[in-house]
Structure 1
């Protein structure tokens, strides 16, 4: 017990001394300690990071939290919902507030447990794999009931030779198939055994039966009829107000689709590789000869134009979006939007250039925004509003400024530079081993453990060495020199100097500072960036 207690004491003292070494911050607007933590407030936005374990970003009623994502969790919260995800996406927890005030809660850990809670019975459910249970509002059904997932026994009686094997993958898929299932929506209800091998369902207008692999039919009055024999022979009729469409498919050898009016006709041979056809209603013609190497399509409604000769050349237009590539040299993604037009360029996969041009003036970026990256070496970002950013290295293979980039990028950044529209600049070297920020009348820099310095309004406010064991500091009561953390007053403070808040906390009501003697002073920037500055006094009459 004594050994554990000593370890705890040592860790606590180390943490306190590291915080002391950080020095004072500028009114909590921005503070940092090496790459380990960062805190910032700007307008309606605030960010707090303890890398790589926790990130919180808040802005205008929205909040994002994350910890070691995607492994542990990430969270999106608004006034309407609180959505948690984690474990590589296998975990989900969602609290949702409906317009009429009801709050629903859903929890899922795939495939083990699904739970739903609500004041309304229709949204309460529970399922535990591999035993079964009830699901509601999932997979397009109002209610799903399952019982037993016997495939999991394959792992017990016929264990695979290796965890990473085709056998393991096959067992995992079979383990997700229930022995019994029933589901319903509106007036339709169905049930099945050894799903999906046998299912049957009925409603006033629908009639379904499937006995795999022998026979299946799906019929809905005045809408469609579908039949399948041995999976190979498939026939379908679809009924429209002025036309009937037919499909015959001998899987996968040959298929043909046609209509009574002759407005549609298409063929496929060795599906999905070869297919061609037209649809006069949408003014569409398509050719895949073979898919996916050669794809040609022209459609009027919606507007589609496709010319793909993979892997060499491709152009695909869908309404106001375009994808163009000359593989592997060049990719371009373009979009015309209501607020801005965007173009994303990829050269040799590793060279990126992104641009947005706004129709008006965006409150954050102004009239334009640009981003250039040579992955994984460097990135440059700038906008019309004056924002500038440079990073070496830039390892992430995607953009996520308020998520992955904020949480992880300083862990490997060799050099970084930021300039903000308000004129503030920041620069860091070697994972923020040296980091500084400066503006019109202030300057601040830190080297973890060794040195911290702050200047404001033309005066030096703080300078600390070796965890602030030695240094200089200005407070409202005067200028002080620190010797082994003990402050020694050496003069009056400069007029108008910024000081730590809470200095008078130790003065009794009605007392004056002049009637007391200071015996100790400690200034600790808390992790959230708010300083805990304490000066300890005793009455002079006690000396």
Structure 2
């Protein structure tokens, strides 16, 4: 049904470019200033351990990270084939980002789970009836709290379907051809909402005191009214495709379109919202200014496009700029994250994110397929030569990158430095008072509290480790050496054979 609204024309662009969820930043790798125990075997395996955090990866098959401080963990198997993340209060798992499983733990100790392979399979379970549903599309099922409806049911869709929200319920046969619905009748036989559609001959959509829409021989004849519960209702009529008009009773809002939807020319204004808009030649030229909400849009396709939505004080906004389609910038600001994203598809991108709650910043860049890099506010930074994946995905680079990287360099947040060459055939990891070397399957570690040599990750080797009497390894607590070697410390020697320590 024809709906012509100046202030909502940019909604589709909004969904396309800013639909990714914005969450508070969670750790995705070992961080902090504590000393770290690092080990790797060529490009196949690496592990990093520090008190309270642990990460290991078997490239590219499996990776896992755990943070005890934030009670957070994530893992991936042949990422992005499988990925999971969670805390003590929620868990999220996904297979190819198509089949997903979510569960949440509430303060009342209740729990709800959800499995989905959208749109084919949905299964929800929980402690209340509202959280329990099952669906195998298109054969049979019920889905709850999806697509803005409380409940959606179907049998051999589109043969029969129904949906509801609060006291409204609708049914359909051969959707979308035949549909009827509404709210229950009151004691006087009056329905607050009433809908009927026999496509394409006739349709009626009525919400008493709010709107009234009619069509005959859709899409050729459409007319109706909106905002009937407000001081200045709006009326529209549409004779497809030649002419469309919408205006308020006071005349302060007017919009017109010729040859819609191809829009040979369209224009309009809304004095109450301080809005004006002009469009020509379908989507090739668009110009819009709005004061409430604050919107700016200018499109001269394919040369230039600008869109901005937010408030005048810039407490929040979303903005995008495109040049010749492939070159552009996306920016957003909210209470959770502030970001700026420059790109030249598919060769270059630069992304900056600031998380106000955590007061953390992250910079990432990629010059595809030559190199990629990053920098964080905690001091961590690094780069990699050869970055074959064109899209920005740091975890994918860390999972698959060692298989094709010619060189890597990074400085950790605790000032440890790592460098590798030729798919990690040679690598070195340097700490404040320790050094680790890896070459063609051999490894060598030297520090005041650990000496180790070995071959093939522990097939054969020797180590000497300084520990307290209770077995605590001092390699994680170098601060204990500030006043000299602890009296209770002792050196323990081990023989490594067939990946076991004796």
**TM-score (norm. length: structure 1):** 0.71
Matching residue of 1:510 = none
Give the structure 2 partner of residue 75 of structure 1: 84
Matches of residues 423-502 of structure 1 in structure 2 within 5 Å?
423-449=415-441, 451-457=442-448, 461-465=451-455, 473-474=463-464
Task: Classify 1:324/1:498 alpha carbon distance in 2 versus 1 (closer, same or farther; 3 Å).
Answer: farther
**Structure 2 residue aligned with 1:152:** none
- In the alignment, what sits opposite 2:47? 39
Separation in 1, partners of 2:345, 2:119: 39
Secondary structure class of the residue paired with 1:316:
strand
Q: Deviations over 1:65-105 (max 9, x none)?
A: 2222333x22231333222221x333122212234332112
**CA distance in structure 1 between the partners assigned to 2:202 and 2:232 by the alignment:** 27
In the aligned structure 1, how far is the partner of 2:402 from the partner of 2:198? Answer: 58
- Determine whether 1:302 maps to 2:293: yes
- What is the deviation of 1:255? 1.2
Larger Rg: 1
Distance across 1 between alignment mates of 2:391 and 2:180 = 46
Higher helix share: 1
C-alpha contact (below 8 Å) 2:103/2:114 kept by paired residues: yes
Q: State the distance in 1 between where 2:340 and 2:138 align.
A: 48
RMSD: 3.2
Contact 1:37 1:48 in 2 (8 A): yes
Corresponding residue of 1:242: 231
2:140 matches 1:132: yes
CA distance 1:80–1:533, change in 2 (3 Å): same
Instruction: Quote the offset at 1:44 in angstroms.
Output: 4.9
Q: Distance in 1 between matches of 2:296 and 2:354?
A: 24
In the alignment, the residues of structure 2 paired with residue 96 and residue 356 of structure 1 have an alpha-carbon distance, to the nearest angstrom, of: 27
User: How big is the shift at 1:364?
Assistant: 4.9
Q: Which stretch shifts more, 60-69 or 200-209? A: 60-69
Bigger mean CA offset, 322-331 vs 294-303: 322-331
- Change in 2 beyond 3 A, CA 1:259/1:473: closer
Q: Which residue of 2 aligns with 1:90?
A: 98
From the superposition, tell whether residues 270 and 524 of structure 1 become closer, same or farther in structure 2 (CA, over 3 Å): farther
Q: Where do 1:25-36 residues align within 5 Å?
A: 29-36=37-44
Residue of structure 2 equivalent to 1:273: 262
Superposition map of 1:187-202 within 5 A: 187-202=167-182
**Is 1:215 the counterpart of 2:223 in the alignment?**
no
Shift of 1:385: 4.5
Cα distance in 2 between the residues matched to 1:472 and 1:424: 24
CA distance in 2, matches of 1:83, 1:357: 24
Equivalent residues of 1:370, 1:382 under 8 A apart: yes
- In the alignment, which residue of structure 2 is the partner of 1:116? 124
Q: Confirm or deny: 8 A CA contact 2:462 2:496 kept in the other structure.
A: no
Indicate whether 1:251 and 2:240 are aligned. yes
Q: Is the 8 A contact 2:80 2:396 kept in 1?
A: no
SS of the residue 1:242 aligns to:
coil
Identify if the C-alpha distance between structure 1 residues 434 and 500 changes in structure 2 by more than 3 Å, giving closer, same or farther: farther
SS in 1 for 2:233: strand
Q: Which residue of 2 aligns with 1:181?
A: 161
Flag the structure with more relative contact order, 1 or 2, with Cα contacts below 8 A and sequence separation at least 6: 1
CA distance in 2, matches of 1:98, 1:259: 47
Q: 1:472 to 1:124 in 2, by over 3 A?
A: closer
Unaligned runs of 5+ in 2: 1-33, 184-190, 311-316, 468-484
Q: Using the alignment, how far apart are the partners of 1:145 and 1:342 within structure 2?
A: 40
Q: 1:105 to 1:255 in 2, by over 3 A?
A: same
* TM-score normalized by the length of structure 2: 0.76
Per-residue CA deviations over 1:198-255 (Å, capped at 9, x if unaligned) read 1111213111111112211111111111111221211121113211111212333321
| Match in the other structure for 1:51 | 59
Per-residue CA deviations over 1:379-429 (Å, capped at 9, x if unaligned) read 23335643330111122223333x322222222211100112322100111
In the alignment, structure 1 segments of 5+ residues that lack a partner are 1-25, 149-176, 478-494, 504-520, 526-531, 535-543
- Report the Cα distance in structure 2 between the residues aligned to 1:210 and 1:199, rounded to whole angstroms: 5
Aligned mates of 1:359, 1:102 — CA distance in 2: 31
**1:308, 1:112 → 2: CA distance?**
37
Distance in 2 between the 1:116 and 1:353 partners? 39
Kept in 2: contact 1:199–1:209 (CA 8 A): yes
Residues 273, 288 of structure 1: 8 Å contact kept? no
Match of 2:397, SS? helix
* 2:382 match: 389
8 Å contact 1:500–1:533 — kept in the other structure? Answer: no
Deviates more, 1:222-231 or 1:177-186: 177-186
Superimposed CA distance per residue, residues 478-526 of structure 1 (whole angstroms, 9 cap, x where no aligned partner): xxxxxxxxxxxxxxxxx9998668x6xxxxxxxxxxxxxxxxx43576x
What are the Cα deviations for residues 243-296 of structure 1, in whole angstroms up to 9, with x where unaligned? 111121233332111110112111122223322211112111111112322111
